[in-house]
Amino acid sequence: MKHLSLLGLAGVATAIWAALAAPVAAQDSGPVVVELFTSQGCSSCPPADALLRELAERDDVLPLALHVDYWDYIGWADSFALPAHTVRQRGYARAAGRDMVFTPQMIVMGQQSVVGARSMKLAELILQHMQDPPVISLSIVDEGAGPGVDVRSAGAPVTGPLDVVLVRYAPLRRVEITTGENAGRTLDYANVVEGWQVLGQWDGSTPLRLEIEAPADEQRAAVLVQRAGYGPILAAVRVE
């Protein structure tokens, strides 16, 4: 605590983000997945949206913006909101024993929750997951018939069932908001999720290969492996 008092909270945050700026060796488990549940109609969301845009510049972090629809009634209907995103956030809440959902909320690797744009807490969690040894190896393969994903354990067999999920997202979207809490603002959103598809389930032991469709011209895609029932995300890979 002596070092913390000398450095101060702002200094700690700066130090952590400086550590994140350093190169990190690629691991089979892939980038750290950060899901942001947000809404265009939420006045407290823009700082978290901006933080997600910063993370989108990194190769070792996969930030995903999941826009929810439960704030649409307060004056502005979010043009990116999907009911499935609200279902996913509520699923995380139930898995954690919570009754309420809120924005902005970040979920790191399907496990820890970060309220708002708490960059220091988020950076700590990202660093923690970067240091975790990989348990699953994911790779994108293309043998001429189209891309596929190869899923296998990185060591000992993993306990299933595990969902293999294809996520499609837009790298950048700009919106002019004319009503509601953010009226008069033009906001940029990074990695806006536009589709979430379960490709199949994996038992965690036998290697698995699944076909995937290449992303559209203005889209990007990633494959995640997550414990069924809104459990931890164990691996991720971008579809290049």
**pLDDT for residue 162 is more than 70:** yes
Q: What is the pLDDT of residues 198-208, one digit of tens each?
A: 999 999 989 99
Please give the average per-residue pLDDT across 36-58, as a whole number. Answer: 96
Full-model pTM: 0.90
Helices (H), the chain: 2-21, 46-55, 83-95, 119-130
Rounded distance, CA 1 to CA 39, Å? 37
User: Which amino acid type is present at position 89?
Assistant: Q
Sign, CA torsion 50/231/170/176: negative
pLDDT at 75 over 50: yes
Q: What is the pLDDT of residue 7?
A: 40
Angstrom CA distances, 67 to 28, 36, 89, 102, 104, stand at: 29, 8, 10, 12, 10
Mean pLDDT of 178-182: 96
Whole-number percent of the chain with pLDDT over 90: 78
**Helix axis angle, 2-21 to 119-130, nearest 10°:** 70
Burial class (CB in 10 A: 0-12, 13-18, 19+), 156: exposed
User: How buried is 207 (Cβ within 10 angstroms: 0-12 exposed, 13-18 middle, 19+ buried)?
Assistant: exposed
Q: What is the pLDDT of residue 19?
A: 62
Using the predicted structure, report yes or no on whether residue 9 has a pLDDT greater than 60.
Answer: no
Q: What tens digit of pLDDT does each residue of 15-34 get?
A: 556 666 655 544 556 999 99
CA distance 71 to 90: 14
Write down the residue that tokens 């009634």 correspond to.
Answer: 73
Give 5's pLDDT tier (boundaries 50, 70, 90): very low
Q: What pLDDT shows up at residue 6?
A: 34
- Please report the pLDDT score of residue 123 as a whole number: 93
Supply the pLDDT for residue 28.
Answer: 54
pLDDT band of residue 167 (cuts 50, 70, 90) is very high
Grade residue 8 by pLDDT with cuts at 50, 70 and 90: very low
| Domains of the chain with bracketed CATH | 28-239 (3.40.30.10)
- DSSP secondary structure, 46-97, as one string: HHHHHHHHHHTT-SSEEEEEEE-STTGGGS---TT--HHHHHHHHHHHHHTT
Specify the DSSP class assigned to residue 156. S
